[in-house]
């Protein structure tokens, strides 16, 4: 299966931007294994300054703690690649921004760093809204480092589109 190319990623970002603009909402990103790729896709869209607030690239555990307020005990108990950490990243990004929605990604893109419990390709996501709603999930992507990262970006954007579309009252809630 071919992995998502930049054109597809930016098309997803454009759809997301249209929804956010329509609802007069803003977005913040908190990224680890994707290194700012989600934010890059979002800012590739002309006019994104109307709906994209900021992005955090928190690759290290220290950055997750210092920039997003991820509790050290959450990192120790669950590991950096976990849904609880992704949720803490998303919630921290909302606290440290003016955004209404957040997306967070933390994972193992490889080629090394995996384990039996968390193999390469394990990526955790969280999508959060300022009203307190949070969704999280874990995916296992096949491929090399670039493919895993591209699939992670696509999943993050598609997941946020789904969360916004399913939110009570839609984007205007």
Predicted TM-score (pTM) of this structure: 0.96
Q: What is the pLDDT of residue 31?
A: 98
pLDDT band at 169 (very low <50, low <70, confident <90, very high): low
Give the per-residue pLDDT at 1.
55
- Given the candidates 3.90.950.20, 3.40.190.170, 3.40.50.620, 3.40.50.1860, the CATH classification of the domain at 6-166 is 3.90.950.20
What percent of the chain is helix, strand and coil (3-state, nearest 5)? 45, 20, 35
What is the structure's pLDDT at 22? Answer: 94
Q: What are phi and psi of 26, to 5 degrees?
A: -120, 155
pLDDT at residue number 136: 98
d(CA 132, CA 90): 11
Give pLDDT, residue 173. Answer: 47
Q: Please give the helix or strand (H or E) that residue 79 lies within, else none.
A: none
For the chain, what are the domain ranges? 6-166
pLDDT one-digit tens code per residue, 158-167: 999 999 999 8
pLDDT value of residue 168? 72
Query: Strand runs (DSSP E) across 7-133, as ranges?
Result: 27-31, 52-57, 101-107, 122-129
pLDDT at 2: 78
Cα 33 → chain centroid: 10
Beta strands per DSSP E along 44-172? 52-57, 101-107, 122-129, 134-140
Percent of the chain, pLDDT > 90?
94
- 39-78 residue pLDDT tens: 999 999 999 999 999 999 999 999 999 999 999 999 999 9
How high does pLDDT run on average in the chain?
95
């Amino acid at each position: 299966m071919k992995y998502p190319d930049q054109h597809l990623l930016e098309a997803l970002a454009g759809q997301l931007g249209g929804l956010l603009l329509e609802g007069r909402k803003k977005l913040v990103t908190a990224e680890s294994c994707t290194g700012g790729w989600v934010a890059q896709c979002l800012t590739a869209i002309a006019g994104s300054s109307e709906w994209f607030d900021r992005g955090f690239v928190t690759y290290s555990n220290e950055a997750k703690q210092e920039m997003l307020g991820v509790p050290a005990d959450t990192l120790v108990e669950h590991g950096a690649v976990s849904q609880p950490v992704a949720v803490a990243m998303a919630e921290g990004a909302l606290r440290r921004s003016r955004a209404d929605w957040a997306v967070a990604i933390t994972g193992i893109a490889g080629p090394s760093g995996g384990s039996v419990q968390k193999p390469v390709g394990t990526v955790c996501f969280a999508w959060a809204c300022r009203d307190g709603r949070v969704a999280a999930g874990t995916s296992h992507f096949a491929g090399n480092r670039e493919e895993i990262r591209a699939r992670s970006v696509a999943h993050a954007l598609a997941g946020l589109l789904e969360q916004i579309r399913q939110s009570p009252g839609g984007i205007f809630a």
